Structure 1
Amino acid sequence: MDRITKIIQETHHRFLNLFCMDVRHRNGEASEYYVASRAKSADDLKAVTHRNDPDGVSIYSVYGEQKDQVVLVKQYRYPLGDYVYEFPAGLVEPGEAMTDAAVREFHEETGLHLQVIPADDMYTKPRFTTVGMTDEACGMVYGYASGVPDNRFEESSEDIQVVLADKKEVRRILKEENVAMMCAYMLLHFLKSEGDPLGFVEMQEKR
């Protein structure tokens, strides 16, 4: 198994940092491995703590009386130099419950209100996003959206368009547009759903 022998923090930014790891591979060879992380210091890296606390949260929500539209954001992302379709999402503040972060971020990005569906941990627990380059983990929150889309609550650094997409529009988006992977897989689920798209979410059974 690969071993980490030393970690050097290369940057000290608020939202994202770069760390250089000195590692030794199973064949004994040594090399460097660079990791991008939400961690503020090397001691906070998941490779050190081995805790999977959520860095962020993504929200899969449906809209309308028939629950036949999914709430998406079309957001400009600098790494792409282009727009990409995503679920509303954001960072979880220290000490903040993931569901509270979801309600807050959802309203900030869309102007809509989110009614959270309580769900079993297996549906919501943080999952790693791109493990080859980052230790970032994001949880998923599910819910029903209401209200009128409004972008006046977004930050000046954000460029977000709220999209209420039915199945026809979702098919077009998946065929023609840039889509974040985590969002794309759930949109494929949305396309195949019958009735309430969120009907698969279950509460944990009491024992």
Structure 2
Amino acid sequence: MKFKNINKLNEGAYITRYDITYETKAGGEKVYEMISRDKNIKDQGGLLKEGADAVVLIIHDESGEKILLNREYRMAAGRWVYNFPAGLIEPGESPQESAERELWEETGLKLLHIDDWMFESYSAVGFSNEKNVCVVGTAAGTFAESTDPTEEIKAGWYTKEAVGSLLKDQHFAARTQAYCYLWSRQ
């Protein structure tokens, strides 16, 4: 594929819609629809931005026997979906600061320590250049309602057995489903 151009079609509060035109290896033209957190992509370099837009928190309890999952009403899906706590990195905020803030805002829990960071990954590479950084760590505390009145989140600790049962008939975000499947079978 050879990049030809990009056109901004619509700018929303959080995402911007673009059409990207490519020349295919057969010499044809392909117009690809995408969304981005970046409101000012003007060329192919803009698609290749540095840094993550958001954090994803893969959190275990202090015993290491339970994993933290949010059951959240997701408006785009029109239903409740299991997912890891996650959120956008605010301007001027480090990924660690974002992880601590998002965990507390969505669950009321405190991040005790970070065990690992995963390299940047794409949220939905089929239609967006949004990137995440995954944080693996441990948290503790008492659950509280989300501090954002527009979010409906029910956070909880789940054992491997409980996760295995949820995977049979509950909706998950893809990244959470994949990780939980492997974790529950260890």
Same fold (TM over 0.5): yes
Query: Which of 148, 158, 174 matches 2:142?
Result: 148
Counterpart position of 2:20: 21
Task: Note closer, same or farther for the CA distance 1:47–1:172 as it changes in structure 2 (3 Å cut).
Answer: farther
**1:36-75 alignment, distance < 5 Å:** 36-43=35-42, 47-48=45-46, 50-64=48-62, 66-75=63-72
Amino acid at match of 2:184: L
User: What are the ranges of 5 or more consecutive residues in structure 2 without an aligned counterpart?
Assistant: none
**1:1-207 alignment, distance < 5 Å:** 2-43=1-42, 47-48=45-46, 50-64=48-62, 66-119=63-116, 123-153=117-147, 155-193=148-186
Shift of the alpha carbon at 1:68? 1.5
Amino acid at match of 1:85: Y
More strand by share: 2
In 1, distance between residues paired with 2:103 and 2:144?
Answer: 11
Shift of the alpha carbon at 1:67? 2.4
Secondary structure at the counterpart of residue 156 of structure 1: coil
Secondary structure at the counterpart of residue 177 of structure 2: helix
User: What are the ranges of 5 or more consecutive residues in structure 1 without an aligned counterpart?
Assistant: 194-207
Task: Note closer, same or farther for the CA distance 1:22–1:94 as it changes in structure 2 (3 Å cut).
Answer: same
Q: TM-score, normalised by structure 1?
A: 0.83
Amino acid at match of 1:67: G
Q: Kindly report structure 1 stretches of 4+ aligned residues shifted beyond 6 Å.
A: none
Q: TM-score, normalised by structure 2?
A: 0.91
Shift of the alpha carbon at 1:15? 1.4
Secondary structure at the counterpart of residue 68 of structure 1: coil
Secondary structure at the counterpart of residue 72 of structure 1: strand
Task: Give the root-mean-square deviation of aligned CA atoms.
Answer: 1.8
Shift of the alpha carbon at 1:47? 5.0
Q: Count residues with an aligned counterpart.
A: 186
